[in-house]
Structure 1
């Protein structure tokens, strides 16, 4: 018996090892969801918003390194997938989106809910096509999956609502043979980079997630060159724990030690990173860059030697050509600064900080309501979370506190919207992560603005009984926007949030809600959240005036904050 279009698609997903399909049901998807319902090992996860479905599929793809799958029905259902799919595209992770469409005969007639999906997804998808005949399968599906996996991106396959039930006249199983090539530069390129590094005095490494499969080679390189290792945020996973060379992050979330390590080098070696913030790169130094994507070479900063290739394979070829460096003063100075900075951060993270003399003076200026310091909350979560926890993190100030106070040791994993910078990603990514790893602890660092944007999918977490721990930094603000306004010398405007009691909302939805309103309740509240079985929303009222000082603050930023605070004071007196 010939199979239907829907059956061919879902059988292929099963063959690929896809375990979950995320989406919202709709009439155009009915043949596909019925095929999922009747397929062992492939489960439908009904979300409350298609954006959450796309984020969850992208999370599973990033964690597994394989294909994530989501679906959206005709028109608005497909449109709602866009933001989560953009996040997957910017994160360079393979996701297949199946989009419903109006009946085949009505295409192009401005039919009810009709949207041109091939045009809609043109910018986000590396492959997009509409199935117009059953006999286009399975070849069209194979092309979509191959594109998503081989190019680490999004593929969108649109299926008209009346086509899913139609049978193929010539049926065969879908086939997905795929091996990843391992590339490395040629020998002259290797030798040129080695000559440049051997002539260097002080080398600093800037390591990105593209080097995550080259852990041993990168550490051997740092030892050979006596080089401090600055990490991008995404390189925390894999390079932060048990690494005697790392000095934390750079950029606005960074620290003085990393800034000094970069500014003090005469040669910068970029490994698997496309770090986008040009102002944070050092000047007047030689630059060597190794990246699998040739188009990334020299994109952010001019390079003296650019090597296109797999980082691990390239370093294995490069290391034998490198002389050892006896002078470790550059590395030792950077590490000393880093440890001093970390000691200061630990003092800030102590819940009793505001009871000491300096803390009392500080709180009189910036925390008169005696809210919880967000540093203390992040540090408490770090201490309570398991060694193999999976963390997701909202964009904004939650990312700052996560980057500074959560250590990625052991088998910990991390996800965030680190390239797109979307709001509302942490909770749906946690949803996907917990389904992917049901026996592991999943912790979401949620901003209050982010959580409220997709609040409805708390019900998805409840429906599927997912034991995620949602930690809400409730500062009643869009905190990063506030910081950006004040840094520019502008008074805070439009950032205040009239929040509900998130813990009470969680309780009303059938989840456990815990609310912490002061520093004295913090440690007990965090421990209760982690000790409580099932899903928990831990809402903590954090200080809205907390300031995250960048690793290399400028005079202009200082004046900006001073001017902003004067404007805000005058504004409060006038209201």
Structure 2
């Protein structure tokens, strides 16, 4: 074999095209629809970067940290439905990348995570930076494997198929050192079709309808797979017909308009005890596309029968709770069957529930005596166009966003809940803008999470991305501080700094506009959304507003 990129090998009368392994990998990714690969390069990655440089339709995006690259790939997979792709080198590159890979695993995003690996003769040796990447990624991926020079397309296409099938998630593919320049025949393998889930058993569907028909006060819970299955409109029509209230999980935001009379609120987030006043009155819980990774059933459902409509078996402590019917199969088909149920309208007073919901929202209105997160979110919601996308980080503010941020449709609010890693907001906003260049994008970040991935601002500058990063500076890891105070412990280890702002007027080339009150904040946002590149609007807030709103029990 030669080291050239292309070579033709005659096989009888047929000429078989040959290319080096690096080019075959990139060609396969392009065929899958991948447009961006996020990572921090190594020497072994150079050939893959060269293949991307000379191939139309795909670009390498240099991240500041492999963890940021993983978050970017996670969100890219969520937004596009095509596996997000990221890369990290040996040892520390792979362990850094693992944080973003874990995010894709527990937030259910399709991903192909690529890493360097040592050649076979070095894997068991004491070699600088050498750890077992297969063992590292096994617990946080759906599958981990390594590339073979004569099966490049087969392995890449299989990785995509596994990543996209069933519950989406990441697949790790190790790239053995020295393999990238090997020239091998290009196989005829094509991307594999994703098969629809089989329909649920007729007996389970029949039982589901009977249980629902017999219930007097059922409640519907919609999760993230209700969003990806696109059953929102059907379920809303069903809830309207039968007079049933609906609760949602945080990552299902946008599936139902917050003003809808059947909408009750978001589980787990701010003032979830008020939401709980509704679902604790239910005599049946009907969950659709609910993923327990967001919030365990046992932490919120009343001790009543549960019907679960999903593609996988339900995770429930059946020694304490009743799994009345596990409807496992194609969610769309199950919802269609459910629509055929015949029964009287249920016994809920939706007007009373609407008043309860409004009272909950009123309690999250701004405190006029101080510039706090509620006012900042209200002003930002007013300034961000309705078609805009907002990403957010983990922290006290995510609990307010989950409950009070109005989200016109799915995908316009992006968060992490299953993995819940701080540092998610900046990388996710970068990807949101790369994937939606014509839409306004902003990101809400606490100062704690900001410090974890602030370096990725350099990516936004380099890529000339118009993003408004809204930094909530309160010098406080508020969720932990609140937990300390609930235990009557002194505040320790949670102040981010004694006082003051996060930094100067420019961070990594991104201008910073500071706001100390609502008037300054509104003006700063007006200025920021008019800019052609990334801007930080730093809101210096009082975190005490969180104390009475977050970390509420969903049930007594």
Cα distance in 2 between the residues matched to 1:247 and 1:256: 12
Q: How does 1:77-92 map to 2 (within 5 A)?
A: 77-92=93-108
Cα distance in 2 between the residues matched to 1:154 and 1:91: 10
Q: Which moved more, 1:301-310 or 1:49-58?
A: 301-310
Cα distance in 1 between the residues matched to 2:259 and 2:94: 44
TM-score by length of 1: 0.87
* 1:144-202 alpha-carbon deviations (Å, 9 max, x no partner): 2221122411111111231101111x322441121331433222222212222112111
Task: State the secondary structure of the residue aligned to 2:251.
Answer: helix
Taking a change above 3 Å as real, the CA distance of residues 434 and 549 of structure 1, as seen in their structure-2 partners, is same
Match of 1:307 in 2: 327
Q: Which moved more, 1:2-11 or 1:273-282?
A: 273-282
Selected match of 2:210 from 185, 190, 195: 195
Deviation at 1:349, TM superposition (A): 2.2
Task: State the secondary structure of the residue aligned to 1:322.
Answer: coil
Match of 1:220 in 2: 237
Cα distance in 2 between the residues matched to 1:279 and 1:314: 24
Cα distance in 1 between the residues matched to 2:70 and 2:342: 45
Count the aligned residue pairs.
532
* 1:530-565 alpha-carbon deviations (Å, 9 max, x no partner): 2333111111111132234358957x99xxxxxxxx
Taking a change above 3 Å as real, the CA distance of residues 548 and 412 of structure 1, as seen in their structure-2 partners, is farther
* 1:354-386 alpha-carbon deviations (Å, 9 max, x no partner): 2xxxxxxxxxxxxxxx4x211000111111111
CA contact (8 A) 2:272 2:552 kept: no
2:165 aligned with 1:150: yes
CA contact (8 A) 2:390 2:443 kept: yes
Taking a change above 3 Å as real, the CA distance of residues 448 and 194 of structure 1, as seen in their structure-2 partners, is same
Taking a change above 3 Å as real, the CA distance of residues 550 and 264 of structure 1, as seen in their structure-2 partners, is farther
* 1:10-39 alpha-carbon deviations (Å, 9 max, x no partner): 000111111000001110211111111111
2:30 aligned with 1:31: no
2:504 aligned with 1:504: yes
CA contact (8 A) 1:191 1:321 kept: no
Match of 1:474 in 2: 473
Cα distance in 2 between the residues matched to 1:417 and 1:8: 33
Deviation at 1:504, TM superposition (A): 2.2
Structure with a larger share of its residues in helix: 1
Q: How does 1:272-311 map to 2 (within 5 A)?
A: 272-275=289-292, 276-278=295-297, 280-296=299-315, 301-311=321-331
Task: State the secondary structure of the residue aligned to 2:129.
Answer: coil
TM-score by length of 2: 0.90
Q: How does 1:306-385 map to 2 (within 5 A)?
A: 306-325=326-345, 327-329=347-349, 331-345=350-364, 348-349=365-366, 353-354=368-369, 370=370, 372-385=371-384
Task: State the secondary structure of the residue aligned to 2:142.
Answer: strand
Match of 1:8 in 2: 24
Cα distance in 2 between the residues matched to 1:134 and 1:412: 38
RMSD: 2.3
* 1:66-101 alpha-carbon deviations (Å, 9 max, x no partner): 210011122221221000000000011110011112
Taking a change above 3 Å as real, the CA distance of residues 101 and 87 of structure 1, as seen in their structure-2 partners, is same
Cα distance in 2 between the residues matched to 1:305 and 1:501: 53
Cα distance in 2 between the residues matched to 1:47 and 1:256: 40
Task: State the secondary structure of the residue aligned to 1:21.
Answer: strand
Cα distance in 2 between the residues matched to 1:388 and 1:295: 35
Match of 1:430 in 2: 429
Structure 2: state its 5+ residue gaps.
1-6, 8-17
CA contact (8 A) 1:70 1:98 kept: yes
* 1:214-247 alpha-carbon deviations (Å, 9 max, x no partner): 0122112212321111111112122235633111
CA contact (8 A) 1:471 1:537 kept: yes
Cα distance in 2 between the residues matched to 1:552 and 1:494: 19
2:136 aligned with 1:116: no
Structure 1: state its 5+ residue gaps.
355-369, 558-575
Taking a change above 3 Å as real, the CA distance of residues 283 and 327 of structure 1, as seen in their structure-2 partners, is closer
Cα distance in 2 between the residues matched to 1:414 and 1:120: 31
CA contact (8 A) 2:305 2:321 kept: no
CA contact (8 A) 2:455 2:508 kept: no
